[in-house]
Structure 1
Amino acid sequence: MHGKDVVDRPADAAYQWTGMRRHLTLALLCLTALFNIFDRQIMTILLEPIKIEFGASDTEMGLLAGSIFALFYAAASIPLGRLADRHSRRVLIAACLAAWSLMSAFGGVARTFVQLALTRVGVAIGEAGSTPASYAIIADLYPLRHRAKALSFYAAASSIGAGAAVMLGGWLVENFGWRTTLVAVGLPGLVLAALLLWLLKDPPRGLSDPLQAARPDAGHSMLSALRHFWTLRSYRWVLLAPAFCQVTLYGTLIWGPTFMLRVHGLSPSEVGLLFGGVTTIALVLGQLSGGMLADWMGSRDIRGYMRFSAAMAGIGIPAGLLFLFAANTGLAMVGFGLLSLAMAPITMCATVMAQSLVPPRMRATSSTALLLTATTFGVGFAPLFVGLSNDFLQPMLGGEAIRYSLAIVVGFLALSSISALIAAKWVCADYDRLQGETSAAG
């Protein structure tokens, strides 16, 4: 047995990983997730002032907020995911955080639309390396029966970041302008990056899965890992369920504030307080309660994770239509809150499955595949689609065009629900196959 294999074996290091140490590691990862989504979502409240300053169209703003980001996020996520499976995840996360924070701040001094787009490319590349490595660490820290709950805290931190970006961003842009806002939200990430290098520890791979940690798969290539994933009949549907949900999630998160500005006539600070507050409360509540419910259902039958995901996607459809077609702002916010609550656990349930169906040394690569698919559909497709649809419908519907564009993306929740149900059909066989292979290897 090679020395590196011994270091990574959980039996030699498990005693060092007390509950407090695991929770501290999770807390630091959650704080990183908050900064990650904050720097990404800050653009949602800045779309209108940036559009006005540069004279851009809705299609161009959709490219800036979505497709450009998604393209480079996807391209960077593959090599960064491989790095996370082979090298220090602690150093990778800290370096990525420092990179995206600097690029976010540089956006505030951009003088042209192209320069601003290039800074968002830098943000995308930096953010691409953080989440896959974080997912893999969390899966190593917590066994399957507690994994959804642990991931729900990570997801809740992301939701707090999304809501805070709109709330704080709305106040900042109204009082200081969009340029100062980008600088102000970017620089604190450098402090957190230094803190991560000091406090964050990288657990042994497979710490919570001793049998799987013993499997000799350390030398897998990216292609062989993807081929392995493809042999799992449930896996492709596990990826598609959150991907379709992300179309609705990012379509409404990125264009929702603009919808409130155009259709309901609110000011940026009002949108920030109302939309951001509802987003934060609903997503956090949905993720924390969803994590506990998913673990309860999954502990009885592993198919419960994806069945729960399918049910929540179905609930989200009428809630989304209420948000878009309510007669007043208050009722619209009730609909958006219910929509956010329903969507909150869907990606988390898929993440649990994507981590639990593969060996420990493929977990960051598996996270990359999940996030690559979700980002391509959600961040890459949804904002651009809404922008194109707005520009197409505006001559006929005027300011109401955005209402019908968003209604289309809400319909993608039906595809999410169907995908989750198909995944549930095959997940037991794929999970049992992994357990059988690791038992044989042991």
Structure 2
Amino acid sequence: GLLVLGHVGCLLTAVSSTFWQLFTSRMLSGVAMGGALPVVYSLMADLFSAAQRSRCSSAITTSTGAGIILGQMLAGLAGPVYGWRVPFMLCPIPGLVTALLLFFSVGEALRGGKEDQLKEMIESGISYNQGLDWRRFCEVMKIPTNRILIWQGLPGSLPWGVIFVYFSDYLSQEKELSVE
């Protein structure tokens, strides 16, 4: 759902005619894409064994970066020729196709189904439904190490995301390097 919502936001960007439409469509797209990655990693943990997860995590991270690079290349090549709206119409297509393929090919994951520690419990018919609620989150946040790890995330990760996404724009606009 988040994947489709993000791509719909991208399509809405292409037809925006006011600042607030543009702002809302980009915000919708960004929130959906930012919210999708934690869900993807959680789903990965339920679909793959612990031994397979590092490889799967690498594939997810690599394809995320590749998607950003390909999207920027498409925007850099199509935008100057066809206008700024066309990349926002083209970029969602692969994502929507992927969403459809996943919807029809990946079944509902059994929560904790690939955890060795839960195997016996699940085989006996007891379902694992442990989740993160507000009370549990507060318990986790009482641990100083967890607070440090979470709070360093924004200043530690945000600059790299900005550099990765906007560096090509900087080179093109400020340093006048050609996209081609």
- Asked which structure has the greater RCO (Cα within 8 Å, sep 6+), the reply is 1
Residue in 1 that maps onto 2:169: 258
> What is the CA–CA distance in structure 1 between the aligned matches of 2:5 and 2:26, rounded to whole Å?
11
- Output the amino acid matched with 2:138: R
> What is the CA–CA distance in structure 1 between the aligned matches of 2:58 and 2:82, rounded to whole Å?
34
SS in 2 for 1:234: helix
Residues 148-177 of structure 1 show CA distances to partners (whole Å, capped at 9, x for unaligned) of 332111101101011111111100112111
Residue in 2 that maps onto 1:121: 27
**Structure 1 residue 259: deviation in Å?**
2.4
Residues 45-98 of structure 1 show CA distances to partners (whole Å, capped at 9, x for unaligned) of xxxxxxxxxxxxxxxxxxxxxxxxxxxxxxxxxxxxxxxxxxxxxxxxxx2222
Q: Quick one: which of 66, 71, 85 aligns to 1:165?
A: 71
Residue in 2 that maps onto 1:18: none
Residues 258/222 of structure 1: CA separation in 2 closer, same or farther (3 Å cut): same
- Output the amino acid matched with 1:246: S
> What is the CA–CA distance in structure 2 between the aligned matches of 1:258 and 1:118, rounded to whole Å?
22
Residue in 2 that maps onto 1:209: 115
SS in 1 for 2:141: helix
- Output the amino acid matched with 2:105: L
- The 5-angstrom pairing of residues 287-366 of structure 1 reads none
Q: 8 Å contact 2:111–2:128 — kept in the other structure?
A: no
Residue in 1 that maps onto 2:54: 148
> What is the CA–CA distance in structure 2 between the aligned matches of 1:150 and 1:186, rounded to whole Å?
23
Q: 8 Å contact 1:101–1:188 — kept in the other structure?
A: no
Residues 254-308 of structure 1 show CA distances to partners (whole Å, capped at 9, x for unaligned) of 43223212442213x23xxxxxxxxxxxxxxxxxxxxxxxxxxxxxxxxxxxxxx
Bigger Rg, structure 1 or 2: 1
User: Which stretches in structure 2 are left out of the alignment for 5+ residues?
Assistant: none
> What is the CA–CA distance in structure 2 between the aligned matches of 1:224 and 1:212, rounded to whole Å?
23
Residue 104 in structure 1 maps to residue 10 in structure 2: yes
Residue in 2 that maps onto 1:190: 96
| Aligned residue pairs, count | 175
Could you tell me the TM-score, scaled by structure 1's length? 0.36
Residues 220/185 of structure 1: CA separation in 2 closer, same or farther (3 Å cut): closer
> What is the CA–CA distance in structure 1 between the aligned matches of 2:132 and 2:63, rounded to whole Å?
32
Residue in 1 that maps onto 2:140: 229
Residue 243 in structure 1 maps to residue 154 in structure 2: yes
Q: 8 Å contact 2:2–2:33 — kept in the other structure?
A: yes
Q: Quick one: which of 40, 52, 60 aligns to 1:134?
A: 40
> What is the CA–CA distance in structure 2 between the aligned matches of 1:193 and 1:243, rounded to whole Å?
28
> What is the CA–CA distance in structure 1 between the aligned matches of 2:94 and 2:144, rounded to whole Å?
43
Counting aligned pairs with the same residue, the percent is: 20
Residues 142/250 of structure 1: CA separation in 2 closer, same or farther (3 Å cut): same
Which structure has greater helix proportion? 1
User: Which stretches in structure 1 are left out of the alignment for 5+ residues?
Assistant: 1-94, 271-442
Q: 8 Å contact 1:99–1:122 — kept in the other structure?
A: yes
Q: 8 Å contact 1:96–1:130 — kept in the other structure?
A: yes
